[in-house]
């Protein structure tokens, strides 16, 4: 099987509807579709409608969801509300876990709810700096995956993506080295392989991905794409990362 790359931009709490729309239009002009290349942006909920259907090359994801279908959950957004607006949805981003106290159980419920309503979840996992320094990285990531993926049905694996995002690398300018990322990615791949042998589930790297380090990270065999925060907020830097993916696909 040839290589495939998934280049995703997590905009976090940035960009209004108008800014999001302008961004997607500008981005679409900066790259050409290529076999094996998937580009997606994850705008805030309020901008999803504005970017809907703008360009088939730019896939759309949401940054979060709640696991109930409807009810008295003030401020939350349900999976059926996202259907038709988003194809993908992030679950378990470290900012959700740390700032909003989402547990592995919450993340698992969200992931299963997303799948139930036809959304493609991107499950984010990663260790803190103290965990890395204590040699607990693989244990931490393993536990998050086991708990996060509990109960995924046979037919659902095809819709799943995993993102490894070391927390110490997010927004810090200090990315994991390709070797550090590769070690964890191999572990994740081993675990996924034991669950669904022979199926290649995309495993993205995230954490201070920039145009300057993206080529080297994407060149790792175990890395199937990148989840980009800060550098995805700017058309030039995000499209430079996409170009690096395209370059490697055509190499």
Q: Count the neighbouring beta carbons within 10 Å of the beta carbon of residue 15.
A: 21
Q: Give the Cα separation of 249 and 243 in Å (integer).
A: 10
Please report how close the Cβ of residue 229 comes to ligand PGA at its closest, in angstroms.
2
Please report how close the Cβ of residue 171 comes to ligand PGA at its closest, in angstroms.
4
List the catalytic residues.
93, 165
Q: Which two tokens stand for residue 216?
A: 């080297």
Q: Give the Cα separation of 78 and 113 in Å (integer).
A: 9
Q: Closer to ligand PGA at the Cβ: 192 or 228?
A: 228
Where does this chain bind ligand PGA (CB under 6 A)? 10, 165, 170-171, 206-209, 227-231
Sequence-distant (≥ 6) Cβ neighbours of residue 68 within 8 angstroms:
76, 78, 113
Please report how close the Cβ of residue 173 comes to ligand PGA at its closest, in angstroms.
8
Q: Closer to ligand PGA at the Cβ: 11 or 67?
A: 11
Q: Closer to ligand PGA at the Cβ: 225 or 230?
A: 230
What secondary structure, in 3-state letters, does 140-172 show?
Answer: HHHHHHHHHCCCCCHHHHHHCEEEECCHHHCCC
Q: Closer to ligand PGA at the Cβ: 1 or 13?
A: 13
């Amino acid at each position: 099987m040839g290589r495939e790359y998934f280049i995703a931009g997590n905009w976090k709490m940035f960009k209004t509807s108008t800014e999001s729309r302008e961004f997607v239009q500008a981005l679409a002009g900066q790259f050409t579709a290529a076999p094996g290349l998937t580009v997606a942006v994850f705008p805030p909920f309020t901008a999803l409608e504005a970017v809907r259907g703008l360009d088939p090359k730019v896939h759309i994801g949401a940054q979060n969801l709640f696991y109930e279908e409807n009810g008295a959950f003030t401020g939350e957004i349900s999976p059926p509300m996202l259907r038709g607006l988003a194809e993908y949805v992030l679950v378990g981003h470290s900012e959700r876990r740390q700032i909003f106290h989402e547990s592995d159980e919450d993340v698992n419920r969200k992931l299963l709810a997303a799948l139930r309503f036809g959304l493609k979840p991107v499950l984010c996992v990663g260790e803190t700096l103290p965990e890395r320094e204590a040699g607990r990285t693989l244990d931490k990531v393993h536990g998050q995956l086991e708990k996060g993926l509990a109960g995924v049905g046979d037919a659902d694996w095809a819709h799943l993506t995993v993102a490894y995002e070391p927390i110490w690398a997010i927004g810090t300018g200090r990315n994991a080295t390709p070797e550090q990322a590769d070690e964890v990615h191999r572990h994740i791949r081993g675990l996924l392989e034991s669950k669904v042998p022979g199926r290649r589930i995309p495993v993205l790297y995230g954490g201070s991905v920039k145009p300057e380090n993206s080529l080297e990270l994407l060149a790792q065999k175990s890395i199937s794409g990148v989840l980009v925060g800060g550098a995805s907020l700017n058309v030039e830097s995000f499209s430079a990362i996409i170009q690096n993916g395209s370059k490697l696909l055509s190499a």
